[in-house]
Amino acid sequence: MKKLALTCLTASLLFGTGMVLADADASIEYRQSVYKVVKWHMDSLGAMARGDAEFDADAALHHSRQVHALSFMAKEGFGEGTQGGDAKPEIWANWDQFSGGMEKFQEVSGAMVAAAEEGTLQALRPAVGQMGQTCRTCHDNFRN
Ligand code: HEC
């Protein structure tokens, strides 16, 4: 018990109010990092879909699954009071719309995994196109 209390004390000293209110700088770094990793995986999928890279069914499935997993991670980086980075203030003013965009990200990337499971470029291509469109729509609305 004593040890736990000490750990909590140390944590609150380290993170200060960050334990309660999301720290803006840390949140911005977190969400930008998530999106960087998203891009890493989307770049490979995009190259295959465009025919710039040879289609590889295993790689397509791997990258799709990673994008889908990441689609659940970005949102927590947009806590209240974490305005900044390239995020538009409209995110917090239109939270439901933004949140809907995040859900769309999850849905569309899930569909991309299903398409990749088919194991053909023919199935993958439209799913990657739809994913790219979903990225662009949110960026048009909510990113500077
Ligand atoms: C629901 C909204 C939304 C969706 C969907 C979305 N993004 Fe973003 N993205 C943002 C916002 C907002 C930022 C700006 C974050 C910041 O700077 O604080 C961003 C930033 C980025 C960045 C820049 C990260 C950096 O280095 O600063 C990249 C790259 C990116 N997104 C790629 C993607 C890709 C690829 C997809 C689709 C697979 C995607 N995003 C889907 C909202 C979204």
| CATH code of the domain in which 42 resides | 1.20.120.10
With a pLDDT cut of 90, the percent of the chain lying above it is 84
pTM, to two decimals: 0.88
Pocket probe mutation, ligand 1, options 67, 103, 107, 135, max atoms within 8 Å of Cβ: 135
The Cα–Cα gap between 23 and 15 comes to 9
Cβ burial, residue 104 (10 Å; 0-12/13-18/19+): middle
When mean pLDDT is compared across 18-27, 94-103, 134-143, the lowest value belongs to 18-27
In a domain, 121, yes or no: yes
Is 39 near ligand 1, meaning CB less than 6 Å away? yes
The Cα–Cα gap between 126 and 120 comes to 11
Residue range of the domain that includes 133: 19-78+86-142
Work out the number of other CB atoms within 10 angstroms of the CB of residue 27. Answer: 23
Residue 129 Cα to ligand 1 midpoint, Å, equals 16
pLDDT, tens digit, 9 for 90 and up, residues 85-118: 999 999 999 999 999 999 999 999 999 999 999 9
Residue 116 C-alpha from the chain's centroid: 19
Is 141 near ligand 1, meaning CB less than 6 Å away? no
